[in-house]
Chains A and B, each alone.
Chain A
Amino acid sequence: MRRKTLNIIGLLLFFLLWQLIPMVGLVNPDYLPPFSDAIMKIPTEIGKGTLQAALLESLLHYAIGFGGALLLAIPLGVAMGRFRVIESLLYPVEEMVRPIPPIAWIPVAIIWFGYTPWAAGFIIFIGAFFPTLINTYDGVRGVSRTDIEAAITLGVRDELTMIRKIVLPASLPNIFTGVRVSNAAAWMCLVAGEMFGAGGGMGLELTLSRNYMDMARIFAYMLILGVIGLSSDIGFRRYESKVLRWRKGVVA
């Protein structure tokens, strides 16, 4: 409880500082509008309907990119971790493609998909794919030999059962880590992609605000992005500690 109170105090202090610095003239409020100006933009934006629309578009992009990434990265990570041939085939390709910043794919995405949700979704997919792939692969490779052998002596005969009942649950902590890193990457790519006009959304609103020279509006949208990022991470953590109850005490 004490910790939570401090967390909230920390946030409030941050907002207070944000409010005071431009107010006392430490920086020009035209460049950094005070916290209150940014906050007041939010009801205005909701009134116009732009915020909801942008958020909905962004969520669609997120669903396409992040969902697609998980759907592909987890099975592929498992396959790479379990089968030497697949690992040897894919590892060099993966190692070469992964260092390319997802942002570099923006031109490709726009040409392939046009200014559609699929373009933004694709960039998010690129950003979210690798962290989950790598962590799943690591987790699967790290499944203890004893667990595998115990399962064999208890009657597991086929690879599918082995994956479902041993490999996946045993590597779930790593998969979760991957998913959380992917989530952060997804939001980063989402804004970047949208700022280039790949399908509208929150990022596009930021670009538009710049064109209007409306700094308060820029910070209002940034604030919302921060809140979304924070709450999604808290959500994942909560879910994780619920599902991974068995792990308490294992790490310590």
Chain B
Amino acid sequence: MSKIVVRDLTKRFGDLLVIKDLSFDVKERELLCMVGPSGCGKSTILRILVGLDTDYEGEVMIDDEPLTGHNPKIGLVFQEHALFMWRTVLGNVEFGLEVKGVDKKRRREISMDAIRMVGLEGFENCYPHELSGGMKQRAALARVLVNDPEILLMDEPFAAVDAQTRNILQEELIDLWHRTGNTILFVTHSIDEAVYLGDRIIVLDRRPTRVRATFDNTIPRPRDRTSAPCVELRRKILGVLKEIRAGVKEDFTTFK
């Protein structure tokens, strides 16, 4: 069953056509990765799905219902953590529950569970500036998890952390996903990340964005990044991205 259905999505910024007739599905409990050249509108797609951008054409359905504004079933982890700097880790994590009016005791319980789940126990009273990049992303994830979202949208969440931390965070995300059973739409520019995480990988074309290729990724988990199937899949995706880039070059030459 499809959790998210996008049909003929078209998005313009003024005269600039960013997305044209984009269609894709995300199945229930699927971890779908989306890669594509920078500026192809990946973030825009997530912004539309989370209800921050309502100015588009086409159809977006969540659980077979058309999208209207922000749907509480959907949580978004921002590119640059976007933690509230004036709140502690606990304060940040509690935010969603606070807004919902959950009482203090219950709020604390749920939040501490989420903090434990992302491995930040002992840091709940720290302010964001006291945390490392990886810890900030963990806190940001916990903040979204307390709202118990069925769908998790992640916008290059590990782009700003160092390579080793990124690998650890990816492993943790897989663990978490196995435990919670969310549907995850994960946007990244790292092919390695997409191959490690995704059940399926969608490669987006350059502007105006459409789906260029889809790869089913059936490599069993836990995945070994250096194994032959992983390397092979990475090669294929890279090939598609190269074609896309080559297309850009052609365009430039004709333009001249």
User: Residues on A close to B: CB < 8 A?
Assistant: 146-147, 149-156, 161, 165-166, 169-170, 172, 244-250
Contact = CB atoms under 8 A, between A and B. Distances in A.
Contacts of B86: 169-170, 172, 244, 246-247
B99 A155 contact: yes
B70 A152 contact: yes
Interface string B108-132: 0000000000000000000111100
Given A165-B98, A248-B129, A249-B130, A155 B72 contact: yes
Contact of B96 (A146, A154, A247): A154
A189 to B, nearest CB: 32
Contact of B78 (A150, A170, A248): A150
Nearest to B149: A153
Contacts of B78: 146, 149-150
B44 to A, nearest CB: 13
A246 B84 CA distance: 10
Nearest to B80: A146
6 contacts: A153-B52, A153-B74, A153-B76, A155-B70, A155-B96, A247-B129
B137 interface: no
A155 B74 CA distance: 10
Contacts of B96: 154-155
A167 to B, nearest CB: 11
Given A153-B70, A155-B72, A146 B99 contact: no
A221 B24 CA distance: 77
A42 to B, nearest CB: 43
Contacts of A152: 51-52, 70
B182 interface: no
B107 to A, nearest CB: 13
B50 A250 contact: no
A250 B129 contact: yes
Contacts of B144: 154
A147 B82 CA distance: 6
B52 A247 contact: no
Given A146-B78, A154-B99, A246 B143 contact: no
Main secondary structure of the interface of A (DSSP, over half): helix
A245 B84 contact: no
Contact of B95 (A165, A244, A248, A250): A165
Nearest to B75: A153
B76 A247 contact: no
B85 interface: yes
Contacts of B127: 245-246, 248
Q: Which 5 A/B pairs are nearest by Cβ-Cβ distance?
A: A249-B129, A154-B96, A150-B82, A246-B127, A169-B86
Contacts of A165: 95, 98-99
A189 B130 CA distance: 42
A149 B99 contact: no
A155 B100 contact: yes
Contact of B84 (A150, A153, A244, A247): A150
B129 A154 contact: no
B85 A250 contact: yes
Contacts of A246: 85-88, 127-129
Which of A147, A155, A165 has the largest count of B CB atoms less than 10 A from its CB?
Answer: A155
B147 interface: yes
A244 B127 CA distance: 11
Contacts of A170: 84-86
Nearest to A166: B84
A154 B80 contact: no
Interface string B210-232: 00000000000000000000000
Nearest to B146: A154
A219 to B, nearest CB: 44
A228 B84 CA distance: 36
